[in-house]
Chain A
Amino acid sequence: MGDQTKKQFMIPDGSVWANAWKMTAMLGGVGILVALYGAFQQPERFAYSYLYGFITVLTLWLGSVFFVLIQHLTGAGWSVSVRRAAEFFVSAAWILPVLFAPVALNTSTLYHTWWNHPATEQGVAHAQEHEAAAEAGGDRAGAEAAAPEGHHGYEGGSGPSEAHELLEDANIAGKSAYLNHGFFYLRMLLYFAVWFWLGSRLFGYSAAQDATGDKSYTVKLQSMAPVATFAFALSLTFAGFDWVMSLQPGWYSTMFGVRIFAASAVTSFAVIILVTLGWKRAGLIGNEINTEHYHDLGKLMFGFLIFWAYISFSEFFLIWYAAIPEETVYYHLRWDHDSWKMISCSLVALKFIVPFYLVMSRNAKRNNGLIGLGAGWILAMHLVEMYYWVMPYYRPHEAVQWSGVWMEVGCVMATLGVFLTVVFRRMLKHPLIAVGDPRLSRALNFQNM
Chain B
Amino acid sequence: MTDDNKQKRPVVLLAEFDSPDSIIHAAEKVRDAGFEKWDVHTPYPVHGMDAAMGLTDSRLGWIVLLCGLTGVTAAVTMMQWMNGYDYPLVIAGKPPDAIPSMVPIMFELTVLLASFGAVFGMFGLNELPKHHHPVFGSDRFEAFSHDKFFVSIEVEDKKYDAEKTRALLTDAHATYVELVEEEVA
Contact = CB atoms under 8 A, between A and B. Distances in A.
B47 A323 contact: no
Interface stretch (A71-79, A116-124, A226-234, A313-321): A313-321
Interface in A321-345: 321-323
Contacts of B61: 361-362
A317 B47 contact: no
Contacts of B101: 321
Q: Is the interface of A mostly helix, strand, loop or mixed?
A: helix
Q: A320, A322, A445 — which one has the most chain B CB atoms within 10 A of its CB?
A: A320
Contact of A321 (B47, B57, B65, B92): B92
**Size category of the binding interface on chain A:** 10 to 19
B100 interface: yes
B45 interface: yes
B103 A447 contact: no
B48 interface: yes
B129 interface: no
A363 B103 CA distance: 28
A447 B47 contact: yes
B50 to A, nearest CB: 9
Interface in B123-181: none
Given A320-B100, A447-B47, A447-B48, A363 B57 contact: yes
Contact of A317 (B57, B93, B103): B103
B48 A317 contact: no
Contacts of A177: none
Contacts of A321: 92, 94, 100-101
A105 interface: no
A361 B65 CA distance: 10
B100 A316 contact: yes
Interface residues of B, number: 13
Contact of B45 (A320, A323, A449): A449
Contacts of A320: 94, 100
B103 A323 contact: no
B71 to A, nearest CB: 15
Contacts of A361: 61
B92 A323 contact: yes
Contacts of B48: 447
Nearest to A363: B57
Contact of B93 (A316, A323, A445): A323
Contacts of A360: 65
Interface in B76-92: 92
Nearest to B62: A361
Contact of A313 (B47, B57, B103): B103
A363 to B, nearest CB: 7
B114 to A, nearest CB: 11
Interface in A341-390: 360-363
Interface in A285-335: 313, 316-317, 320-323
A166 to B, nearest CB: 25
Contacts of A316: 100
A68 B143 CA distance: 42
Interface string B20-50: 0000000000000000000000000101100
A362 B59 CA distance: 12
Interface string B61-80: 10001000000000000000
Nearest to B93: A323
Nearest to A357: B65
A445 B47 CA distance: 10
Interface string A405-449: 000000000000000000000000000000000000000010101
A445 B104 CA distance: 41
A345 to B, nearest CB: 12
B56 to A, nearest CB: 11
Contacts of A313: 103
A160 to B, nearest CB: 17
B105 to A, nearest CB: 12
A222 to B, nearest CB: 26
Contacts of B94: 320-321
A317 B45 contact: no
Contacts of B47: 445, 447, 449
Given A447-B47, A447-B48, A449-B45, A317 B100 contact: yes
Contacts of B93: 323
Nearest to B104: A317
A322 B45 CA distance: 51
Contacts of A323: 92-93
A323 B101 CA distance: 13
A139 B160 CA distance: 87
Nearest to A292: B47
Interface in A118-140: none
Given A313-B103, A320-B94, A447-B48, 14 more contacts: A316-B100, A317-B103, A317-B104, A320-B100, A321-B94, A321-B100, A321-B101, A322-B92, A323-B92, A323-B93, A360-B65, A362-B57, A362-B61, A449-B47
Interface of A: 313, 316-317, 320-323, 360-363, 445, 447, 449
Report, nearest first, the 4 A-B pairs whose CB atoms are least far apart. A447-B47, A449-B45, A320-B100, A317-B100
23 contacts: A313-B103, A316-B100, A317-B100, A317-B103, A317-B104, A320-B94, A320-B100, A321-B92, A321-B94, A321-B100, A321-B101, A322-B92, A323-B92, A323-B93, A360-B65, A361-B61, A362-B57, A362-B61, A363-B57, A445-B47, A447-B47, A449-B45, A449-B47
